Amino acid sequence: MKPLHDLPPLREVIARHGLAASKALGQNFLLDAQLLARIARVPGDLTDAEVLEIGPGPGGLTRALLGAGARVTAIERDHRCIPALAELGEAFPGRLRVIEGDALEIDAPALFEGKPHIASNLPYNIGTALLVGWLSAEWRPWWRSLTLMFQREVADRIVAGVGDDAYGRLAILSQWRSTAKLAMPVHRSAFTPPPKVMSAVVHIVPADAPADVDLGVLERLTGAAFGQRRKMLRQSLKPVPGALAALEAIGIDPARRAETVSVAEFIALARAAR
């Protein structure tokens, strides 16, 4: 296994393989080795741990994960990147498995015997869809933790607290049975090419699901409440069967608006509205 400092610079790999970032695939490459190493440390000790990476591109974060001791499975849709990743696999024999395909279509849990960490600089155009899928899976989930790069606006929506402007359905989905925190902001200048927006790394760790709460009921409640977030709950929740009676049963003032209702209160509401 080669030390990371023996590998050719990422810029050289990108130039040699003609890997200009594809706007259609939502690609923005990270080249800063120190920043990538910091991201790879977010999940904790990765020595001999399984890690799933989505959209590795030329392999910047992949290098950092391998350097941290992980065994990486990388799913890459862009066939142009496969030769560069194959070279990286040769430098870390038996520690990198590359699967060419669309992460939205591949049965990722079937690729692992244990529970992997998921660590990715996600393509912007599929990041939220992947996250929602991972958070909506059976619980406890098939993954150990999520360390994911998002546009800062999306990251803020994931970690938002009650009363924040960004607080909404995504915050509740991310927090009702897991903990979500902002691990680090990432300036747009760190990427090649620089995107128009800032980014941030979010770290999510699953927790036990609250008893007697159905995800479908919770999703209907939050969908209705935040779908008309400027309206009082008595108006926005009227279409959800049992919601108004549940408000009364647990003592939530129906004149409140969705952004004032905490995650814990939505959990109680979902439990009462079953």
Residue 1's pLDDT is 60
- How many residues can be counted in the chain? 274
Task: Check: CB of residue 154 under 8 Å from CB of residue 128.
Answer: yes
E strand or H helix at 245, and its extent? helix 243-250
The yes-or-no verdict on residue 24 having pLDDT over 80 is no
**Which residue is associated with the tokens 């799933």?**
52
d(CA 33, CA 59): 11
- The mean pLDDT of 208-221, rounded to a whole number, is 96
Each residue's pLDDT tens digit, 62-93: 999 999 999 999 999 999 999 999 999 999 99
Each residue's pLDDT tens digit, 86-103: 999 999 999 999 999 999
- The mean pLDDT of 194-208, rounded to a whole number, is 94
Q: How many CB atoms neighbour CB 122 within 10 A?
A: 25
Give the pLDDT band (50/70/90) at residue 253: very high
Give the pLDDT band (50/70/90) at residue 23: confident
Task: Check: CB of residue 199 under 8 Å from CB of residue 151.
Answer: yes
d(CA 165, CA 156): 9
Residues 48, 63, 86: CA angle, nearest 5 degrees: 95
- The mean pLDDT of 259-266, rounded to a whole number, is 98
3-class DSSP assignment, residue 86? helix
Cα–Cα distances in angstroms (integers) from residue 210 to residues 63, 176, 225, in the given order: 38, 8, 20
Q: What is the mean pLDDT of the chain?
A: 94
What is the DSSP code (8-state) at residue 68? T
The yes-or-no verdict on residue 31 having pLDDT over 70 is yes
Residue 2's pLDDT is 61
d(CA 265, CA 263): 5
- The mean pLDDT of 41-50, rounded to a whole number, is 98
Q: Which residues contact 117 (CB under 8 A, 6 or more apart)?
A: 43, 46, 49, 50, 51, 52, 70, 143, 144, 145, 146, 147
Instruction: Tell me if the pTM is above 0.85.
Output: yes
